[in-house]
Structure 1
């Protein structure tokens, strides 16, 4: 069995849509970071997306664990022309598309961005590669809201709307395992 400990990076405090923009994480809550690190298995391998907020969070919880190279396929949703813009601003310009993107996720995409189905395909392929390369290990995957939701959706066999109903807080861990029998889900959005 391969266990995934999906950790959402520290907060950016941005009040806009942040996908592929490389904003730093606020890791000043050292007590929360220490609790998270202590909660994670000591022999696990650590990997993160290549965006600095995930890289720095992975470094903060690494504490002697082996580190794998960053994986750009673990990046957040690519919001394209919506990147770093407020929801209200986008809604004023393109209300039907932004509502459909969040209310009926699937094939709808932001201009020059990616659809939810494309995000799922990208992240699923990355997670499959990790599982194949490290079968039977514990993996700490430090990533983003959307990345974690793709795996919740996959493991629980949910539709996208049901997956989006889950909350994924900064510095939380979601536990999912894969074995020959399939997927099992432990805690979602656990804050140690």
Structure 2
């Protein structure tokens, strides 16, 4: 069995869409970082998105664990033209699309960005490669809210809209496992 421990990166304090924009995480809450690190299996390998908010978080919680190179496949949604805009600005700019993007996740994408299905496929491919290369291991993956939600959808075999209904706090842990192609979901949004 391969166990995956998804950790959402530290907070960015942004009040706008943050997709591929490379903004740093606030990693000043050392007691929480220490609790997250202590909660994760000590013999796990650690990998993260290549965006600085995730890679810096992985470095902070990784401690003595083996660190794999950052994976662009674990990046957050590419929000295209919406990246950097406040949610209200997006709603004014693209009222019908912005509403449908959240209510009907699937093939709809922001202008110049990625759809739910495109992100899910990208992340599924990266996870499949990791699970093949490190079968039977504990893998800590530091990534983003959208990425984690796509994996909840896969592991829980639920609709994307239902997966999006889960709260995923910064520095929370969501665990799941796979054995012989069968996925199981564990705790979602656990704050140690």
What TM bracket, shorter-length normalisation?
A: over 0.9
Q: Counterpart of 1:146? A: 146
CA distance in 1, matches of 2:137, 2:72: 21
Deviations 1:1-54 (A, max 9, x none): 000000000000000000000000000010000000000000000000000000
Question: Deviation above 4 Å: which 4+ runs of structure 1?
Answer: none
CA distance in 1, matches of 2:142, 2:184: 19
> TM-score, normalization: structure 2?
0.99
Tell me, which stretches of 5 or more residues in structure 1 are unaligned?
none
1:5 alignment partner, SS class? strand
Does 2:177 align with 1:177? yes
CA RMSD of aligned residues (A): 0.6
* Count of aligned pairs between the two proteins: 192
The 5 A counterparts of 1:52-131 are 52-131=52-131
2:20 alignment partner, SS class? coil
CA distance in 2, matches of 1:64, 1:92: 47
> TM-score, normalization: structure 1?
0.99
Instruction: Quote how far apart the aligned CAs of 1:181 are.
Output: 5.6
CA distance in 2, matches of 1:59, 1:149: 22
CA distance in 2, matches of 1:175, 1:73: 19
Instruction: Quote how far apart the aligned CAs of 1:90 are.
Output: 1.1
CA distance in 1, matches of 2:151, 2:185: 10
Q: 1:10 to 1:86 in 2, by over 3 A?
A: same
1:189 alignment partner, SS class? coil
Instruction: Quote how far apart the aligned CAs of 1:103 are.
Output: 1.1
CA distance in 2, matches of 1:160, 1:99: 15
